[in-house]
Each structure stands twice: as C-alpha cells, then as structure tokens.
Structure 1
Amino acid sequence: MALAGLFLFLSFFSLGFTFSEAQTTPAIYVFGDSLVDVGNNNYLTISIAKANHPHYGVDFPNKKPTGRFSNGKNAADFLAEKLGLATAPPYLSLISKANKNNASFLEGVSFASAGAGIFDGSDERFRQSIPLTKQVNYYSQVHEEMAGRVGPQALETHLSRSIFAVVIGSNDLFGYFDSTQLRSKYTPQQYLDFMSASLKVQLKRLYDYGARKFEIAGVGAIGCCPAYRVKNKTECNTEANYWTVKYNDALKSMLEQLKSENPPLIYSYFDTYAAISDLINNPTSHGFAEVKAACCGFGNLNAVGPCLPVSNLCSNREDHVFFDQYHPSEAAARIFVESIFDGSSKHTIPINMRQLVNI
C-alpha cells in the first residue's frame, strides 16, 4: 500500500471506519440526473423517467434492468470502481422499509435522479424526479444521521476526504430549448446565468455540510444526441450546442469564484462537451462506428421514440456512442470516466480526479 493510502487507512481505522486497501477515498456522494442515476427513480411511483425495463441492463452483470439509463454500467459505476469503492447505492433504496433500520451512509450514497435539473421545475416533462435542491435536502438529513453515528469531528474528517460528484444541467437546457414559454421569458444568456448561480447555491450548501472535494461534470454536446439529430436531418443542433458551450464557460467561471470564496474547497472539472465531441468526430480511434443513431429505440436513427421492451436493439452495442435517445452507451461512459480520472488538461481542469483524490 502506498504511503498516502496507508496513512488514510490508519486515520480512518482509528475513527472506527472500515477501509479496504483498494480504496483511495472513504466514500463518494453522487448528485445529478439520469447520466448517473443508479435506481432512485425506481422508487418514484408516478415517474415516467424510469429504466427498470428491457432493453436497459442487457449488458449489466445480471443482465437485468436496474434503473440505469444504459445497456450496462453508467458513469457512477465506473467512478466508484476507479476509487476502489462499491457503487454508491440509491438513497431511496436505503430508506426503504427493507433497509430503513440498517442503512449506512458512510460508504457513499447516490441522490441522482433521472429527469432532475438544477431548477426545481426541470422535471415537468417527466412528471416526477428529485431536483438538485431536494437531493441536497436529502443529503442534509444524511449528514445529520452520520454525525449521530460517528460524531461531528470524525464525520468532518470523513467528508473532507470523500468525493462529491455532481453531474447535472442537461435537463435544464433541454427544458429551455423545448419550451416556448421559457424562451419568451428569458434570453439564453439570462437562463444560463440563472442556472450557474442556482448551482452555486447548492454547491455552497454541500460545502457547508462538509464537502471539500468536488468532481463536477460540464454538460455534453446535447445538440448531437439522437433525439435532437432526428429533428434536424440527422445533423447536430448547432444552437443547442452553442449555448451549451456558453453554459459550460459560465460554470467554469462560477467554480473558480466558489473556490476563491471558500479556500478549503478543491475541484476537478470534466469537459464533457469536449470528450463526447472527440468520440463523435474521431469515432474509429475510440472503437466506435455509429455516432448518430441510438442503439435502442425505433424510427429514424432509432430516435423517434424511447427505448422500450418492444424497441429495436442493436447487436453491436460496443460500437455505438449512444444507447438511447439521450444517453451514452456503457462503452462511451467507460471512456469518459477514464478521462475524468486520468485525463490531461484537454478534458480536465485544473486537475484530474486522480490528483483530486491524492490531495
């Protein structure tokens, strides 16, 4: 075991935490949308944003749908693997009747919810999700529970070494571009600034509850997802992509400001837009052959409708960048996380996740 890992192991052993040699950090707490949801929406009774049916999960270890919007694992799974952790379980599963009396939040929790956005109203298209504000509210309850178990000082140490991953913003942008009401109320720049400012409030709340190490993902090239291509003669929606880049610029500026205002805070920003654009523009170098069509769906580009049990399913899932109308395939998610963890400044700033963990 490396010296840093040994020190971390001994520190947490003395506080009463279990800590395996493979772990590089004590826990990961995940916030976000369907890109990292590992099953929270399965517990939302009226939500239609669910991946608890075939063909989702067709390549997952048990070959069954789990609530992940993927043919197999998603980015949350790969992030946990990189950290030597088990995938952080869905918060709603931990507080369910079956687990309520035995729930442990110290190994990590996922609050991510398909359809969620920075804004509380972002889930209107999907009827029910857990928006970011509510995810942070849930975390505040978890924080109180953990403090009661191990004490405030031990918890402060635990959280200061843990990773807080935040992957959100796509649904807010989809909501804006698909809403004539929002577009008449706000200019694109006003809306993006509002998104960034609102996210800052929630990140500061997490900081106030002990978060110190943040892994933040920017929004990908949403104009190139199959759902938007199919409306645009198979080409990317350049307007959506233009304003996504502008939002990511605002997000990066906000993160710099948040760090300057709260010096103990450190972060790694992943340029999802650049990473997915690289896959789309240079597919063969990454092992892909299909960058426009979804693997699962129906109609033109398999993107006229969602992935359902009766939908078409491609047999060559490893060479598709997108699994359904909006979400990357397991193969694409794996590449993204490789870049998040060990990527150069081309995709990760000011440091990558490995460097974030080692600080």
Structure 2
Amino acid sequence: MEMAKLFKNSSFCLAFVFALMLGSLGTYAEAKAFFVFGDSLVDNGNNNYLVTTARADAPPYGIDYPSHRPTGRFSNGLNIPDIISEQMGWEPTLPYLSPELNGQKLLVGANFASAGVGVLNDTGIQFVNIIRIYEQLNLFQQYQERVSEMIGAQETKRLVQGALVLITLGGNDFVNNYYLVPYSVRSRQYSIQNYVPFVVSEYKKVLQRLYKLGARRVIVTGTGPLGCVPAELALHSTNGECVPEFQYAASLFNPQLVQMLNQLNREAGGHVFIAANTNQMHMDFISNPQQFGFTTSKEACCGQGRYNGLGLCTPMSNLCPNRDTHVFWDPFHPSERANRMIVQQILTGSNTYMHPMNLSTIMALDSRA
C-alpha cells in the first residue's frame, strides 16, 4: 500500500538526547518540530484572528497565563500543547494565523487548531468563521511550501516526518452537532449507533490526509467524558450525575477510534498513530477529584447558573478564587492543573492511557532512529 511504502521510506533524521529522571523528561539537545490540529482544547489563538463567536480573548481567560491576559486559549493558563512543549523543553508553537510566525519560528512548528471545529464540516456551523479541519490541513500544506522556500523541499520533508503531531477532534461532533438541538439534522439522519461509525470513518480520511502530508508521529486524543462537563450537568443532570446519553456516545466513539487507529497503523507498517485515552484521564478526576487534589469535578471555575455551566465565561461570570481546586475551568474546558495531569499521562502513562506507547517511549525510539 502507498502508506506502507511512504512509512518504510521515511526517516526520522532529527537526533535527540534525553534523560528520564524520576519519571519526568529531561531536556533535548535538539527539538522536534511540533504541529497541532483540532478544536478549542488545543487552539492557542487562531480564532483571535477570525470573525467568530468561538473566542477566548476576554478576561478572565488567561488569568493564570504568564502575562495574566487572555491569549485565545480556552484555559485559565496553559493548554495541553503548551504543556507538552514546556515538558519537552521546546519553544512553544505559535498560532498559524499569527503574524509573528515567520522566519526561524516556522521551524519550531505551528498550531493550526480552531475552536468549534469537528471531524464533520457541518459541526460548529453556529460559529460561522472557523478553520475547519480540511482547511487546517490545507494550511499545513501551505506551511510546508513556506518552509521549503527557506530550507528546501528535502529538509522540509525531514522536518515534517521527524515532527510530533497532536490532533484533538470529535467532541464537537456530538455537543455542537448531534446533540446541539433536539432533532438536529444529524440526529434525524442517524441513530447514535450509526452516527459514531460515520464520524470515525470520516476521521480516518482526515488522518490519511495528514499522513500523506508527511506526519509520522501523531498523538490522537479521544473525546473526554461528554456527559460529565459542567455545561451538560447544568442542562441535563438532576443530582450532578453524568448524563447517560452523552456518556454512551463517548463509550461508543473512543473504542471505535482506537480500532481505526490500529487499522491505519497496520496499513502504515508502524506506530504512526498513538491513541491517547483522554476519556479515562478525565474520568479519574471525575470519579475521585479529592485523590488528585481537586475539591470539585462538577462545578466550573468560571461561569454562571447551575455548576457554573450555563453561558460563557465572561468578565461578569462567577470566578473561583483558586483555579487549582477545579477540574474544569469553564463549562467545557479543563483547568491548567487538570491539563498538566493529562500531559503527564501522555508522557509516561501506561497502556491504559496511551496505546501502543507513551510519548517518552516515542522519543526514546526516535532518538535511536
């Protein structure tokens, strides 16, 4: 198959030196480029440059970011890609739409993610102007053309094939599509049992396109526990229990996603796609928040109404005094502290959390390539 040939002919030519001490990664002699695709869980500011309602550019977003100002991240501080870069000792990636992303900064990588997007093009239509996933991939191709002008086509190919890629999609295809309104177009078109394999099959096409564009180490996150976020608790929960219908959707989607990634890896002849079980990572916090140092996994730090789950996080919202005690920052997104725990599992987690290997193992393999 074409994928298998491409994989066998690829080489991971960037060399790395790293140390594992007490379960944490040391610094690298040379960094991989890092590329990020997906939705608001990983968007670090692209939507700031778009006319859209899917924005996080007003306080109190960014209250715990080093500048203490909103950055476009849907977080009180750093998000998952930021923390991965920090833990690896890499310079953080810039949003692809940022005018600052030029020259040598392009060699660090780029973040193409856009809040509101999903696997499907009709997901997030209420946000109007967002960078849908195939447009993100087109921008990735444009990125490679820009870099080729700097360092040549062959060096660009090596940079991309030696890079780490993170992609986070799927949650919005449920909360901002299938379940967005009663009797949505997709819910009339499909039962949930048929909708999930449809979304997974479309996701496969996205990942095949990403592979053709040169990605060779791709961490793919599953959905979180869709029925346990404060937004859904506020709307559908009576006693704070996770909403069964949404949880059922996640329980269907995540195993089918892993099966699809396994199939892609068989076609590629290697471990290209790595499944991150972010559903289980979140459920650990939700099942026993106190064990992880949180006081609540139900109430968002910033919001209003029941569980602070209604509406948007704005300057007029309720705001908790200590973000570290909350699993959720706003009605949908984890706090920085929860993100840090998720990244730790990405780095060093067992097969329960990372399949078939964690990021530390990936780096060890690639350093010897």
Report sequence identity in percent: 38
Structure 1: which amino acid aligns with 2:74?
A: F
Residue identity opposite 2:77 in structure 1:
G
Which of these residues, 229, 241, 246, is aligned with residue 240 of structure 1? 246
1:58 aligns to what SS in structure 2?
coil
- CA apart distance, 1:54: 0.6
State whether structure 2 residue 203 is matched by structure 1 residue 210.
no
State the distance in 2 between where 1:152 and 1:58 align.
41
Residue identity in the other structure for 2:72: G
| CA separation of 1:68 and 1:258: change in aligned 2, threshold 3 A | same
Aligned counterpart, 2:90: 85
Aligned counterpart for 1:261 among listed residues 249, 262, 267: 267
Q: Deviations over 1:108-147 (max 9, x none)?
A: 1000111011111112122221111111111011122222
2:35/2:164 contact within 8 Å kept: yes
Alignment partner, residue 162 of structure 1: 163
Amino acid in the other structure paired with 2:219: E
* Residues 32-41 or 153-162, more deviating: 153-162
Structure 2 equivalent of residue 8 of structure 1: 15
Residue pairs, 1:28-177, within 5 angstroms = 28-45=34-51, 47-93=52-98, 96=99, 99=100, 102=103, 104-174=105-175, 175-177=177-179
Alignment check: 8 A CA contact 1:29 1:110 kept = yes
> SS of the residue aligned with 1:292?
coil
Q: Cα gap change, 1:113/1:100 in structure 2, threshold over 3 Å: closer, same or farther?
A: closer
CA spacing shift, 1:220–1:21, aligned 2, 3 Å: closer
- What SS class does the counterpart of residue 298 from structure 2 fall into? strand
Query: For the structure 1 residues 157 and 101, does the alpha-carbon distance in structure 2 shift closer, same or farther, using more than 3 Å as the test?
Result: closer
CA contact (8 A) 1:114 1:129 kept: yes
Q: 1:144 to 1:198 in 2, by over 3 A?
A: same
Q: Structure 1 regions of 5+ residues with no counterpart?
A: 1-5, 11-19
- Aligned match of 1:195 in 195, 199, 202? 199
Match of 1:283 in 2: 289
Deviation, 1:157, is 2.0
- Distance in 2 separating the partners of 1:261 and 1:296: 44
Residues 65-102 of structure 1: CA deviation (Å, up to 9, x unaligned)? 00011111111110111222122100011xx4xx4764
1:190 to partner: Cα distance = 2.1
2-structure distance, mates of 1:350, 1:70: 29
Q: Give, in angstroms, the shift of residue 182 of structure 1.
A: 1.4
Q: Which amino acid is the alignment partner of residue 273 of structure 1? A: N
What is the CA–CA distance in structure 1 between the aligned matches of 2:199 and 2:147, rounded to whole Å? 30
Structure 1 residue identity aligned to 2:249: W
State the Cα distance separating 1:330 from its structure 2 match: 0.6
Q: Could you state the TM-score of these two structures normalised by the residue count of structure 2?
A: 0.88
307-316 or 194-203, which deviates more: 194-203
Q: Does 1:328 align with 2:328?
A: no
SS at match of 1:105: helix
Deviation at 1:355, TM superposition (A): 1.0
Distance across 1 between alignment mates of 2:363 and 2:118 = 27
User: What do residues 182-218 of structure 1 show as CA deviations (whole Å, max 9, x unaligned)?
Assistant: 1111111222112111111111111111110011111
Q: Secondary structure at the match of 1:291?
A: coil
Counterparts in 2 of 1:332 and 1:9: CA distance versus 1, 3 Å: closer
Query: Do residues 22 (structure 1) and 28 (structure 2) align?
Result: yes
Aligned partner letter, 2:331: Q
Please give the alpha-carbon distance, in whole angstroms, between the structure 2 residues aligned to 1:356 and 1:300.
42
The secondary structure found in structure 2 opposite 1:321 is: coil
| Superposed displacement of residue 7, structure 1 | 7.5
- Structure 2: runs of 5 or more not aligned: 1-12, 18-25
Contact 2:134/2:206 (CA < 8 Å) preserved in 1?
yes
Task: Classify the secondary structure of the residue corresponding to 2:123.
Answer: helix
- Point out the more displaced range, 141-150 or 268-277: 141-150
> Separation in 1 of the partners of 2:67 and 2:355?
36
Give the one of 261, 275, 279 matched to 1:273.
279
User: Is the CA contact 2:301–2:328 (under 8 Å) kept in the aligned structure 1?
Assistant: yes
Cα 1:334–1:24 shift into 2, 3 Å: farther
Q: Aligned-residue CA RMSD in angstroms?
A: 2.0
**1:248-281 residue CA offsets vs partner (Å, 9 max, x unmatched):** 1111011011111112552321101111000011
1:251 is paired with a residue of what secondary structure? helix
Q: Distance in 1 between matches of 2:29 and 2:166?
A: 16
TM-score, normalised to structure 1, is: 0.90
| Matched letter for residue 15 of structure 2 | L
SS in 2 for 1:54: coil
One-letter amino acid of the structure 1 residue matched with residue 242 of structure 2: C
- Structure 2 distance, partners of 1:209, 1:356, is 20
| Contact 2:298/2:307, CA 8 A, preserved across alignment | yes
**How far did 1:9 drift?**
5.8
Q: What is the one-letter code of the residue matched to 2:218?
A: F
